[in-house]
Amino acid sequence: MKTVVSKVVGIFRDDIDTDLIIPAEYLKVTKKDGLGERLFAELREAESDFPLNLVENEGREILVCGRNFGCGSSREHAAWAISDYGFKVVIAVSFADIFLGNAMKNQILPVNLERGVVERISDFDGEVEVDLFSQKVRFAEEEYDFSIDSYRKDCLINEMSDMDYLVSRLKTIRDFDRGRKMFFNINDL
């Protein structure tokens, strides 16, 4: 992921927890595939005009929410469902810490912006650009900076998991091991 340009799906609510994102009854799986169909299942069933029920929102890659998005349990299934649905970016006022980590480990860029900006983006009907390289969000001739840990940024840009990152640094790790005469042989890994 480098740059995402898309219209947004605005679900501007505070305290959306992981059970609302993906209800517990759908957590009997160990694979990520298919969870997108159950994303926000309870809201989709209860509200016929819920944003994910609207045809015009299909294929959009940016989800916009309020404060404390992803609170509740530590279930990684929430990030799996968001990714499987097709969202690459979640813009919110704030994120629960565990969800924040789970999102980035699943190639979802969480972008934290001030409430007023997030509300305007949620209501905006045009395309929004999220540029990971420059760490900027652009829409309606406005531009806002966001921050991200450099390690996570590198992993997102290069579409690497934590394990992929370690494997890509294996020579450096082996050189370090040889220089320090560690108690185990890293060449056995």
Residues 6+ apart with CB under 8 A from 149: none
What the block records as the tokens of 134 is 């420059």
Domain boundaries, the chain: 3-158, 160-189
Second CATH level (architecture) for the domain 3-158: Alpha-Beta Barrel (3.20)
pTM: 0.88
The backbone torsions φ and ψ at residue 21, rounded to the nearest 5 degrees and listed phi first, read -65, -50
pLDDT tens figures, 137-146: 999 999 999 9
CA torsion angle 20 23 24 26 (round to 10): -150
Residue from 134, 133, 113 nearest 62 by CA: 113
Q: What is the pLDDT of residues 73-109, one digit of tens each?
A: 878 899 999 999 999 999 999 999 999 999 999 999 9
